[in-house]
């Protein structure tokens, strides 16, 4: 692990207590994020995919310090963000922002769009009065809305427009890193591409870094430079986008890739259908988390948890079978 990474996530864990006994002792834990390591380079888009409940949203919230981790750290420009307090913490908030999944829940229904976008300006004392109004107009313009939208209320907008407002609010503080928590999964397919293109344009214009969380590989393919695949709180495979789609190593990644629909009814292809359900993240047993559903699992998988190992440059996989195959 080299030190010059823009953002580095080290052994990050977040466990939620599920059951406590009468004396307040926790009997079982939900391990939403259970030891995640990866890094982000400045200006890139890193995709993070996984099924619902695999902990990717929790991971996103941990990275922008909306949640406090059970263990581990996130190093932003070589500083652990959980060590920052007071004004330093506030300064960090200006550098990292989040765009939420649900465009209906992420805007205060009692504030008009102008006030919603101006909130971050007031919080950080970036602009006031006319200056704030001007900045709001500029931000609305950035995200493809008109200045007359500022006096409207969220319920007057469509999902796509609301998501644009959410993006404008995040941009108000001039952030460097934006965590996009499934920003398009609640939108129509046609609107999805609009929002994705908007995000891409903004990245080119403002030099943003994205952590792009999604639950399907197809959306991520469109936007990401690198992709991480998550399963039950752990990263299973992480590599650059082309390598992942061209040469997937982890059985779970292969299964996910085979699930992407191809709009060609004549095409015959091999689908990998996973059997069984996602294991409960509450008190997972030892061994590989995926082994119960893995088509290639063998004894070792049920016994020891595989570690994330680099197989080629920047291609990390956590799988015993891949390791065995690589060893010959």
Partner 1 sequence: MQAQTNIDNLESQAAHEAHDGLEIEQLKPGQEAWRRLKKDKLAVAGGCILIAVVLVSVLAPIISTHNPNTVVNSNRLLPMGTPGHILGTDHLGRDMLTRLLYGGRISVAIGFTAVGIAMFFGITIGLLAGYYKGFFDTLVMRFIDILMAFPYVLLAIAIIAALGPGLLNAMIAISIVGIPYYARIVRGTVLSLREQEYIEAQKALGASDLRILFKHILPNSLSPIIVAATLDVGWMIIAASGMSFLGLGAQPPTAEWGVMLSDGKDFLRAAPHISLLPGMAIFIVVLSLNLLGDGLRDALDPRLKQ
Q: Residues interacting with partner 1, by CB under 8 A? A: 61, 64, 66, 89-90, 93-94, 96-98, 100-102, 105-112, 119-120, 123-124, 144, 146, 149, 151-153, 155-158, 160-161, 166, 169, 173, 189-194, 196-197, 218, 222, 263
Q: How far is the CB of 92 from partner 1 (least distance, A)?
A: 8
Q: How far is the CB of 38 from partner 1 (least distance, A)?
A: 21
Which residue's entry shows tokens 């939420």? Answer: 100
Q: Between 98 and 288, whose beta carbon lies closer to partner 1?
A: 98
Identify the bridge partners of residue 13 per DSSP, sorted by sequence position. Answer: 34, 71
Name the region of 24 (left: φ>0; alpha: ψ -120 to 50; beta: rest): left
Q: Between 11 and 52, whose beta carbon lies closer to partner 1?
A: 52
Q: Which residues contact 281 (CB under 8 A, 6 or more apart)?
A: 30, 31, 32, 34, 53, 54, 55, 232, 233
What does the DSSP 8-state code read for residue 142? H
The CA distance from 4 to 306, in Å, is 27
Give the length of the chain: 328
CB atoms within 10 A of CB 44: 17
Q: Between 174 and 312, whose beta carbon lies closer to partner 1?
A: 174
CB of 60 within 8 A of CB of 36? no
Q: How far is the CB of 90 from partner 1 (least distance, A)?
A: 5
User: Residues of 182-193 as b/e, b for ≥16 C-beta within 10 angstroms?
Assistant: bbbebbeeebbe
Q: How far is the CB of 54 from partner 1 (least distance, A)?
A: 19
Q: Between 101 and 274, whose beta carbon lies closer to partner 1?
A: 101
Q: How far is the CB of 174 from partner 1 (least distance, A)?
A: 12
Q: Between 105 and 314, whose beta carbon lies closer to partner 1?
A: 105
Q: Between 1 and 204, whose beta carbon lies closer to partner 1?
A: 204
Q: How far is the CB of 41 from partner 1 (least distance, A)?
A: 22
The CA distance from 226 to 242, in Å, is 8
Q: How far is the CB of 279 from partner 1 (least distance, A)?
A: 26
Structure tokens at 225: 């430079």
Q: Between 1 and 21, whose beta carbon lies closer to partner 1?
A: 21
List phi, psi (to 5°) of 72: 90, 180
Work out the angle between the directed axes of helices 159-171 and 113-123 (0-180°, nearest 10): 20
């Amino acid at each position: 692990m080299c030190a010059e990474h823009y953002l580095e996530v080290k052994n990050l864990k977040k466990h939620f207590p599920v059951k406590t006994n009468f004396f307040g002792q926790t009997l079982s834990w939900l391990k939403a994020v259970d030891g995640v390591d990866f890094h982000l380079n400045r200006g890139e888009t890193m995709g993070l995919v996984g099924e619902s409940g695999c902990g990717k949203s929790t991971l996103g919230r941990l990275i922008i310090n909306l949640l406090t981790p059970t263990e581990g750290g996130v190093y932003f420009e070589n500083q652990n963000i959980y060590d920052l307090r007071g004004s330093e913490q506030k300064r960090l908030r200006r550098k990292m922002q989040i765009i939420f999944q649900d465009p209906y829940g992420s805007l205060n229904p009692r504030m008009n769009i102008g006030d919603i976008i101006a909130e971050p300006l007031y919080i950080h004392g970036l602009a006031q009065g006319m200056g704030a109004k001007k900045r709001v107009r500029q931000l609305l313009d950035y995200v493809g809305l008109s200045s007359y939208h500022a006096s409207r209320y969220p319920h007057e907008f469509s999902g796509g427009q609301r998501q644009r407002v959410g993006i404008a609010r995040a941009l108000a503080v001039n952030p460097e890193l934006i965590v996009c928590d499934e920003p398009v999964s609640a939108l129509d397919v046609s609107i999805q591409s609009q929002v994705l293109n908007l995000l891409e344009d903004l990245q080119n214009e403002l030099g943003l870094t994205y952590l792009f969380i999604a639950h399907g590989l197809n959306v991520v393919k469109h936007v990401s430079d690198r992709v991480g695949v998550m399963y039950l709180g752990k990263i299973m495979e992480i590599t650059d986008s082309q390598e992942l789609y061209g040469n997937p190593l982890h059985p779970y990644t292969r299964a996910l890739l085979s699930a992407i629909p191809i709009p060609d009814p004549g095409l015959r292809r091999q689908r990998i259908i996973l059997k069984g359900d996602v294991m409960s993240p509450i008190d997972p047993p030892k061994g590989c988390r995926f082994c119960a559903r893995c088509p290639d699992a063998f004894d070792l998988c049920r016994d020891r948890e595989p570690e994330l190992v680099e197989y080629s440059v920047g291609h990390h996989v956590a799988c015993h079978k891949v390791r065995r195959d690589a060893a010959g």
